Amino acid sequence: YPSFLVAKKRYVGYAYESPDQAEPIFDAKGVECVRRDQCNATMMMMEKCLKLLFDTDDVNAVRQYFQKQCSKIQRGDIHIQDVIFQKEVRLGSYASDRLPPPAAIIGMQQLQRDPRSEPLYGERIPYVVCNT
């Protein structure tokens, strides 16, 4: 029964709900493939890598898949929807001596442009990280 215990409250593996169940269910808790603070590309790649490792037990196949996906991202052969991050924003709760997170910066920029567009406390703001 393949599984990984990463840390407390962070695990992933195949689950069987009954002894006669033929196909296992992929179950992940607390890792990047189920967390909402990651982009879809990260979640899909991690889930595929873990399933590939669990099914084949071949680390080289996982490495090849991962390198292929990274090459696609570097070439730009990926949908923009897959690289959008969405983080919760809590304006007014960030320390003034440090740079706020990217989603908070975008929320403050929206607020400066239009005071009526202030993000709600805990609202998720989408953004894409670009290298210029």
Q: Which of 102, 84, 103 is nearest to 42 (CA)?
A: 84
Residue 94 has a pLDDT of: 86
Enumerate the β-bridge partners of residue 11. Answer: 5, 29
Share of the chain above pLDDT 70, in %: 99
Q: What per-residue confidence (pLDDT) applies to 36?
A: 85
Output the CA–CA distances (angstroms, integers) from residue 38 to 23, 71, 86, 116, 127, in the order listed.
28, 19, 7, 28, 11
- Give the single-character DSSP code of 114: -
Whole-number average pLDDT of the chain: 91
pLDDT in tens, 58-117: 999 999 999 999 999 999 899 999 999 999 998 888 888 899 999 999 999 999 999 898
User: Does residue 1 have a pLDDT over 70?
Assistant: no
Query: What is the domain partition of the chain in residue ranges?
Result: 3-80, 84-127
User: Locate tokens 């407390």: which residue?
Assistant: 8
Stated length of the chain: 132
At residue 84, the pLDDT reads 94
For 50, counting Cβ atoms within 10 Å of its Cβ (0-12 exposed, 13-18 middle, 19+ buried), the class is: buried
Sequence letter at residue 26: F
pTM: 0.81
